Structure 1
Amino acid sequence: MIRCFYSLPAILVASLSVSFADVVRAAEPFDLFLEKHCISCHGPEKTKGDLRIDQLSRDFKLGADAHHWAEVIEQVNSGEMPPKKEKKPTQEEIESFVTNLDSRIKEGRAGRMAARPAVSHYRLSRKEYQNTVYDLLGVRYDPAKPGELNEDTLWHGFERIGSELSLSPSHMDRYYRAAGTVLDRAFPVTSGEARKVRKTAADLRYNGGKEQQAALDRFGIKRPLRFLLFPGSIQNALSPNWFEKAGQEYSGLYKLRIQASGIRPPGGQPAHLSIGKRTGEETVDGILDMDITAPEDKPQVYEFEVLLEMPTTLEFCIVATDVVDRRSGAAFRNALSSRGGYIFTHSSETLLLNPNAPQMFDDKGNGLFSTVLLDWIEWEGPLETEAEKSRRKDFVPPDDATPEVVAEHLQRFAERAWRRSVNKEELDGYLQSYRDEREAGEKPTDAYRVAMQGVLTSRNFLYIVEGDPTAREHLTDLELASRLSYFLWSSMPDDALFSAAQSGTLNGEGLKKAVNRILADSKINRFVDDFSRQWLQLHRVGMFPPDKKLYPKYDRWLETSMRAEPVEFFREMLTKNLPMESFIDSDWTMANTRLCDFYGLPEPKTTRFQRVSLKPEDRRGGLLTMGATLGLTSDGTRHRPVHRGVWLSEVILGKTPPPPPANVPAIEPNPPQSPKATLRDKLEAHRNDVNCAACHAKIDPLGLAWDNYDAIGQWRTHENVAAGVGANPLVNPSGEMPDGRSFKDANDFKRLLIDDREKFVRAFIEHLCTYGLRRVLTVDDEEDINAIVAEAKKSQYRVKDIVRTVALSELMRKR
């Protein structure tokens, strides 16, 4: 995006051929304006915001400081500079200065564009690598597994900015191993069919269950033998030996089915089952999560698909914060796990209760806490469809192929892998490696695999390459096809898009048709998942786990649900092509059972995310009142209004405030003998520092508007101050926007944002373009951004229409 800063960072130029004083003596109106209204605060005597305007480069063709000059224009136009206490220039002076500076920036554009490198390289992110090898070869591979590909470097939440994604020797070593893994799965030495393993409750817990079934028969109980999973217990859900077979690759997609029912205490949470890898005595890192709402006598079959990197061991874990605090400890778990406890089915069967076991049910048979009754579990895999197998058809030559046929097959593979036409000469080195392997005695298949591995570790595969040694302004059709597919599918072009690019039809109506097809394809869900997560910086959710004593309602399942809510909200917005203002405020949200319980909303009919209506008294609606966006700026113990303001400024308004000065003291906790004070009160004192006041005046109101929500997004009217004298103080969410408009609470603040919807829409478009172009926007993109904004306005700023407009824009076709 075009980065906009409230206080501009310094670019110190080592030497200038002409001093600023000499320039001023030339008496040009432009320079006189700077001397009269700017240099006193941004010059040699005083350097506010670390900006020396007198040292900014005047060579607009070189463009070293062009973006800073563009920010000066914005500050002057908005009235932010000069500040209120300084003498204001006349409107005529402002117009003359802005026109002059804008003209200089535009005149230097051609020179700046010519100075850009002729070829640009953008490395694939881990997620894009995963999608690309799947779309190329039909192979499922998890690059985020420990020991696989290096984690991507983030830039303001985005994980695909080319300048941030370097390539080190450690990267190449991992890419080489990853390519080997992918090829092993695509072309296994021995083929194996998917296997189905089913384990009943008797198999999992009771070693066949003969003894337990005999007890049921003895008491005349007709209920089925079940495996009781209770909070705090971790039980086996998958063992590697269930599927392991010597010499066979068995990582891949698996289908999981379980038949289960749940015990839910009156007024409590539904039983939540998590399946994942053990991380502690009572916790797992869940890869599958489900609320079990089916009643005991009507168990339900739950079905999921999951990528498993074998060998792996998975465990069951029950998540239920309403019971762990008061029903914990080894003695409790041991009593429930004891075979002598006769817990084979619903334990309200009093005949089965061991009098020495802890009480689990009341006198009416209601469970005291959430438990799961498991009938059976079934795993099937690894699964592979015919469509997935067909993707690698004709890539590998037969063993008796001539050198010419081998070259043809490798060229076909390279063209799809590199997403462009490939000259035979480019493959000479790879074919030579094939010949070397054959001369060394390797089988044709193994020798050819070495060549394929070379193709998959080439920069042409790992990078999106745009341009050639001859500088040009626009992309070729093949480059445009890749840009569009990685923008909206996070992966390579499919056959139809590749063919359209080769035939030269990605223009005019042909381009519109292609973009509409891309948007209609199910792979658009990758864009929903990836863009929303990066745009909203959702990687920060749970970065500082909330203190369990302060926030006992917070658990891992709530955190997972919170992180999913804005993504599902974005999916609904895009699918229904809803207007942008719904991001700011809406009378609905997307929620599952856990979120509805947390927000105090009516429970949905299914356990999955669905659209839920909101009332004014729910105090929710839009992105800004979601638990994820309110909690991602917290530190685990308290809300942080300044951080909330910075996030809102950057994500919603597209303006990144500068970092705080060095050695700024932290806000101290409330002294025990002092009257209790809100964070707002402490910030007021903090803002008395002249070095902090200017920035905080613009940032703080954006965060203070949400003070009715605590560190995890719960509504409150009083701030809970741990230490101090007196009652907890009332929250005050009122404030004043930087332009002087006042608001009394969050709803009022939302109204002001909607009144300024064009600012939010423009920021959203800049985020989209940053994501799609894989680079930071510059002042030279401004005219194209303006054109996209104007086009988006014609469709009343509807989300899918905006995405389509960006994809069809002139900016998207420029190199």
Structure 2
Amino acid sequence: MIHRFLWAGLTLAIAAPTSMADGITHEAVMPDVHRAVLQEHCLDCHDSSTKEGNVDLEGLSWVISGNIETAERWAKVLNAINSGEMPPPDAEPIADDDKSAFLKDLSEQMVVARKLLSDTGGVVTLRRLNRREYANTIESLMGIRPDVSVLPDDQATAGFDTQGASLFMSSDQIEQYLASARRSLELALRPQRQVKSKTVRIEPEDEYTPHYAAAAEEMRDIRRRADEFLGQTEKPAADFGFLDAYQAKKQRRIEWLPLLEDYLNRPETKSGITLIMTIKQGGYTKVKLPMLHESQDGRYTVRVRAAAYPDANPRLHYLEFSEGYGTGRTRLGWRKVSAPLSAPQIIEFSFQHRAGEKKQIWIHQRSHQDRADKNQATLDMRINGIGTPPGLWIDWAELIGPESAEDDDESPAAQILFDKPSGLDDEQYARAVLARFATRAFRGEEVDDAYLQKLVQRYKANRSKGQPIEQALIDPLSIILASPSFLYLVEGQDGDRDEAKNESATSISGRPMLTAHQLAIRLSYFLWSAPPDEELMMLADTGKLLDDDVLRQQTTRLLTDKRADKFVRGFVYQWLQMERLGMFQYDGIQFPTFDNAARESAGEEIFQTFQLILNEGLPLQTLLKADFVVINDLLAEFYGIENVDGHEFRKVSVGPQSKRGGLLGTAAVLAMGSDGQRSSPVERGVWVLRNLLNNPPPPAPPNVPMLSRLDGEVLAARDLARAHQEQPQCANCHQKIDPIGYGLENFDAAGLWRDVEVISSPGNYRKRTKLKEFEIDPSGQLPDGSQFSDFQELRDVVAMHGDDFARGFTESLISYGLGRPYGFTDDHLADVIMNNAKDNGHDIPSFVHALTLSSAFRSK
């Protein structure tokens, strides 16, 4: 058992072997053919006697993977030549062919060396709960979802957020965990008061119309005063409320008054609110529901009576629900309104308000991340004199809740405090509470008396200060939640309560096997990102979980449980590198339909598609090419697919000529292969190589020279990519990457189909003009020489690499599930998983079962 107060003694098991169990040594070696390059161009300044810049290449081993120091020195050589820093300008340059060959071989061998030197040899590193797992675990313990915004952002590390070597811990973080635990406990143990469910109705014409009318009158008054001042010369500007003539002229130009007057003149605004865009009123008209405070947690329902203007932009026929307090807003979801003004419809939307939060729900029109809606309104004003016509009208809105809890025993406090048994004094009761909570927090690990006594002493010290029992318990309870046995997934070599049941068991590799309880914990955090439930722990208590059939049954149960959504989202998001979807801000004028709603729905499509393939037992390779998509009404409109009604995601058939069906046709993947303005054949090609073909290119070299000679030129994407290939250090990789990206060039930066690439001038949206238009050539080839002439053929040839795709998925699954980088020692395990999946039609559960039943998954 790890001592929970002595953090300085906590160490991680790290190994870096360079050979497989069969004794065959794998090495990364720079070919001897390149010795002449170093001899002729480097050793004059960097031999053992000169060592200019303290760099000695004469004694450099050509076995790059020999050790970290050697690999680092070779990395410096690679970077120096890549950047053009070496050879220096006054030295003889390396011939282009020699340079290209040298960089190609060194780049490839560096990839191998990194793999060898980072390989753990199958040892699962002791690891901390990542941020997702921490939040889920706290919630399972006491029903409170903690604020984890101050905790480490584990997804910013390399690889998966389950990899122990990347989950660091510092003294500052311990304080953060203590503070987070204390806050959650204060919320869980706060005095409970019965909050009755109620319905609050907002009538917009009473809440907002008077303010809009007053604002319009203020604008008219400003204009009248400006006209009076500018129409005379006797009186000074101050008499009219202005500083000078310049301010009077500026304020007289009230562009938004016609829009506001149009709003007030509409008959329907006498009995509701029309959703429009107006800078004067804070961006857009909206309905604000009553503020929800920290103690008003629970589930709420919003009911809205609304109607749509038939001639409006279809994008504006969606209500957007958002939450926040102050300036920050989080989007909750969207609902389409199809009813006419003559027969409004009732829209319902439910959400969860968590304890400790303070927020307000807004109901408004669909929005962009940037000022696109306001900019569009300005452009529309030039045409119609008013602005963007409204899309929706709201009669009233209601907030209903909180819904009463079905079982009072499930309250947060009840999960920590239990009824005090007769015969126990306060101290004995506190001890029992702490013991039960610690055992649950430590995932079934028994708590030793010495540790428990220290917690009781903290409780007694708090009581001596006059604190009530609940308050006095918060301090020792928070210590439990900031201790290693909680924050770390401990798989110790001894001290476990069921160690004796299989103490002699070892895996094929010679490492000890996990105990039943350790296996239960690893399995639940793999598939639920949360602790085991009661059934799993019961099977661990009896040791039955160690039986292959029982383990298979439990793996199936966990995969089919709704909590497996945590696996789908946690694994898929990182496997497919979906963080790029939110990395760029799209120009709303250039991409008017790719707003917040479309972007978030595009990401959801990926998760929902994977979930459907998992649920229906379809082959994993369905992700490469399919005759269906998994979309909702909003995404269907974005794709131009008809007859899809409702916000729920569902399976929709598409024809053989459809551009959608498979990852390559999804807006999310295509948008990730752009910079928010232009599509990028390079980014898209790299993504395909890495995620679909399992053939990742070497990392991009640092300090690549800029193509300054192209400044000011407007080039098609293919021509721009070809220019990069003129650099020797870039050519090898780009010749492999770019031809794949060309096949996706018919999709713009937002993932919509186009027949030509249009380049517009940058700068102010009001003055943007088309500069050039390029025909798109979508032909290209894969690294193996497979050629394609268009997108459909690209998708077909990629789909023929289903085994490569499955292999990449397998390697990622191993890394995510075992909490460490995939290494060459895992090749045999990957082969076993692949064979098992092939025998079972490549359905996703077969991959998961083969991993969880493996010796690697069940070993320490």
Asked if 2 retains the 8 angstrom alpha-carbon contact of 1:284 and 1:317, the reply is: no
What displacement does 1:631 show?
A: 0.8
Q: Describe the shift of the 1:742–1:430 C-alpha distance in structure 2 as closer, same or farther (beyond 3 A).
A: same
Aligned partners of 1:454, 1:440: CA distance in 2, in Å?
19
Q: Describe the shift of the 1:265–1:805 C-alpha distance in structure 2 as closer, same or farther (beyond 3 A).
A: farther
What displacement does 1:602 show?
A: 0.7
Q: Describe the shift of the 1:617–1:757 C-alpha distance in structure 2 as closer, same or farther (beyond 3 A).
A: closer
Aligned partners of 2:537, 2:296: CA distance in 1, in Å?
32
Aligned partners of 2:473, 2:367: CA distance in 1, in Å?
53
Match of 1:198? 200
Q: 1:409 aligns with which of 433, 455, 470?
A: 433
Match of 2:490? 465
Asked if 2 retains the 8 angstrom alpha-carbon contact of 1:733 and 1:745, the reply is: yes
Match of 2:462? 437
Asked if 1 retains the 8 angstrom alpha-carbon contact of 2:376 and 2:589, the reply is: no
Match of 1:639? 679
Write out per-residue CA displacement over residues 483-518 of structure 1, whole angstroms, 9 at most, x where no aligned residue. Answer: 111111111111111121122111211111211211
Q: Describe the shift of the 1:386–1:647 C-alpha distance in structure 2 as closer, same or farther (beyond 3 A).
A: same
Greater mean deviation of Cα atoms: 540-549 or 620-629: 540-549
Letter in 1 for 2:783: P
Does structure 1 residue 184 correspond to structure 2 residue 186?
yes
Q: Describe the shift of the 1:557–1:124 C-alpha distance in structure 2 as closer, same or farther (beyond 3 A).
A: same
Match of 1:305? 351
* Secondary structure, counterpart of 1:810 in structure 2: coil
What displacement does 1:202 show?
A: 5.3
* Secondary structure, counterpart of 2:154 in structure 1: coil
Match of 2:317? 271
Letter in 1 for 2:817: G
Asked if 2 retains the 8 angstrom alpha-carbon contact of 1:235 and 1:316, the reply is: yes
Does structure 1 residue 525 correspond to structure 2 residue 565?
yes
What displacement does 1:741 show?
A: 2.2
Q: 2:396 aligns with which of 352, 361, 375?
A: 375
Q: Describe the shift of the 1:180–1:84 C-alpha distance in structure 2 as closer, same or farther (beyond 3 A).
A: closer
Write out per-residue CA displacement over residues 137-185 of structure 1, whole angstroms, 9 at most, x where no aligned residue. Answer: 22233424xxx43433424563333222222333223322221222223
Match of 1:136? 141
Match of 2:736? 698
Match of 2:170? 168
Does structure 1 residue 292 correspond to structure 2 residue 367?
no
Aligned partners of 2:771, 2:412: CA distance in 1, in Å?
70
Aligned partners of 1:438, 1:694: CA distance in 2, in Å?
71
Asked if 2 retains the 8 angstrom alpha-carbon contact of 1:394 and 1:409, the reply is: no
Q: Residues 335-374 of structure 1 correspond to what in structure 2 (within 5 A)? A: 368-374=389-395
Aligned partners of 1:402, 1:695: CA distance in 2, in Å?
70
What displacement does 1:197 show?
A: 3.7
What displacement does 1:270 show?
A: 5.1
Match of 2:842? 797
Asked if 2 retains the 8 angstrom alpha-carbon contact of 1:204 and 1:236, the reply is: no
What displacement does 1:621 show?
A: 1.4
Q: Describe the shift of the 1:224–1:451 C-alpha distance in structure 2 as closer, same or farther (beyond 3 A).
A: same
* Secondary structure, counterpart of 2:314 in structure 1: coil
With the length of structure 2 as denominator, give the TM-score of the two structures.
0.72
With the length of structure 1 as denominator, give the TM-score of the two structures.
0.76
Q: Describe the shift of the 1:469–1:607 C-alpha distance in structure 2 as closer, same or farther (beyond 3 A).
A: closer
Aligned partners of 1:203, 1:35: CA distance in 2, in Å?
76
* Secondary structure, counterpart of 1:506 in structure 2: helix
Does structure 1 residue 505 correspond to structure 2 residue 544?
yes
Percent of paired sites with the same residue = 26
Q: Describe the shift of the 1:492–1:43 C-alpha distance in structure 2 as closer, same or farther (beyond 3 A).
A: farther
Aligned partners of 2:41, 2:820: CA distance in 1, in Å?
34
Asked if 1 retains the 8 angstrom alpha-carbon contact of 2:205 and 2:269, the reply is: no
Aligned partners of 2:478, 2:65: CA distance in 1, in Å?
48
Greater mean deviation of Cα atoms: 511-520 or 123-132: 123-132
Q: Describe the shift of the 1:762–1:330 C-alpha distance in structure 2 as closer, same or farther (beyond 3 A).
A: closer
Does structure 1 residue 707 correspond to structure 2 residue 715?
no
Aligned partners of 2:276, 2:131: CA distance in 1, in Å?
37
Letter in 1 for 2:398: I
Write out per-residue CA displacement over residues 74-117 of structure 1, whole angstroms, 9 at most, x where no aligned residue. Answer: xxxxxxxx99999xxxxxxxxxxxxxx99xx99x99x9759x5x
Asked if 1 retains the 8 angstrom alpha-carbon contact of 2:619 and 2:843, the reply is: yes
Q: Describe the shift of the 1:277–1:391 C-alpha distance in structure 2 as closer, same or farther (beyond 3 A).
A: closer
Write out per-residue CA displacement over residues 687-714 of structure 1, whole angstroms, 9 at most, x where no aligned residue. Answer: 1222112222222223222111111111
Q: Describe the shift of the 1:520–1:46 C-alpha distance in structure 2 as closer, same or farther (beyond 3 A).
A: farther
Match of 2:655? 615
Q: Describe the shift of the 1:473–1:643 C-alpha distance in structure 2 as closer, same or farther (beyond 3 A).
A: farther
Match of 1:679? 717
Q: Describe the shift of the 1:476–1:327 C-alpha distance in structure 2 as closer, same or farther (beyond 3 A).
A: same
Write out per-residue CA displacement over residues 738-784 of structure 1, whole angstroms, 9 at most, x where no aligned residue. Answer: 22222222222222222221110010111122222222111222211
Q: Describe the shift of the 1:279–1:407 C-alpha distance in structure 2 as closer, same or farther (beyond 3 A).
A: closer
Letter in 2 for 1:509: D
What displacement does 1:328 show?
A: 4.7
Letter in 2 for 1:129: Y
Match of 1:758? 803
Match of 2:535? 496
Write out per-residue CA displacement over residues 701-745 of structure 1, whole angstroms, 9 at most, x where no aligned residue. Answer: 232221111111111222223479996222122222222222222
Q: Describe the shift of the 1:762–1:387 C-alpha distance in structure 2 as closer, same or farther (beyond 3 A).
A: farther
Asked if 1 retains the 8 angstrom alpha-carbon contact of 2:439 and 2:447, the reply is: no
Match of 2:641? 601
Q: Describe the shift of the 1:708–1:112 C-alpha distance in structure 2 as closer, same or farther (beyond 3 A).
A: closer
RMSD in angstroms over aligned alpha carbons? 4.4
Letter in 1 for 2:64: L
Aligned residue-pair number: 699
The gaps in structure 1 that reach 5 residues or longer are 1-28, 69-81, 87-100, 212-218, 333-355, 361-367
Write out per-residue CA displacement over residues 372-413 of structure 1, whole angstroms, 9 at most, x where no aligned residue. Answer: 324222141276442871786474355653655543332221
Asked if 2 retains the 8 angstrom alpha-carbon contact of 1:251 and 1:311, the reply is: no
Asked if 1 retains the 8 angstrom alpha-carbon contact of 2:315 and 2:593, the reply is: no
Aligned partners of 2:628, 2:709: CA distance in 1, in Å?
37
Greater mean deviation of Cα atoms: 575-584 or 134-143: 134-143
Asked if 2 retains the 8 angstrom alpha-carbon contact of 1:434 and 1:447, the reply is: yes
Match of 1:76? none
Asked if 2 retains the 8 angstrom alpha-carbon contact of 1:486 and 1:492, the reply is: yes
Q: Residues 117-266 of structure 1 correspond to what in structure 2 (within 5 A)? A: 120-144=125-149, 148-156=150-158, 158-201=160-203, 205=207, 225-232=271-278, 233-240=284-291, 243-244=292-293, 249-265=295-311
Asked if 1 retains the 8 angstrom alpha-carbon contact of 2:601 and 2:635, the reply is: yes
Greater mean deviation of Cα atoms: 307-316 or 570-579: 307-316
Does structure 1 residue 448 correspond to structure 2 residue 473?
yes
Q: Describe the shift of the 1:429–1:626 C-alpha distance in structure 2 as closer, same or farther (beyond 3 A).
A: same
Q: Describe the shift of the 1:286–1:390 C-alpha distance in structure 2 as closer, same or farther (beyond 3 A).
A: closer
Aligned partners of 2:27, 2:808: CA distance in 1, in Å?
33
Letter in 2 for 1:678: A
Match of 1:776? 821
What displacement does 1:788 show?
A: 0.8
Q: Describe the shift of the 1:37–1:323 C-alpha distance in structure 2 as closer, same or farther (beyond 3 A).
A: closer
Aligned partners of 1:717, 1:129: CA distance in 2, in Å?
48
* Secondary structure, counterpart of 2:777 in structure 1: coil
Aligned partners of 2:787, 2:484: CA distance in 1, in Å?
54
The gaps in structure 2 that reach 5 residues or longer are 1-23, 43-56, 75-97, 103-111, 214-264, 279-283, 496-509, 762-768
Q: Describe the shift of the 1:237–1:634 C-alpha distance in structure 2 as closer, same or farther (beyond 3 A).
A: same
Asked if 1 retains the 8 angstrom alpha-carbon contact of 2:438 and 2:447, the reply is: no
Aligned partners of 1:509, 1:773: CA distance in 2, in Å?
21
What displacement does 1:301 show?
A: 3.1
* Secondary structure, counterpart of 1:728 in structure 2: strand
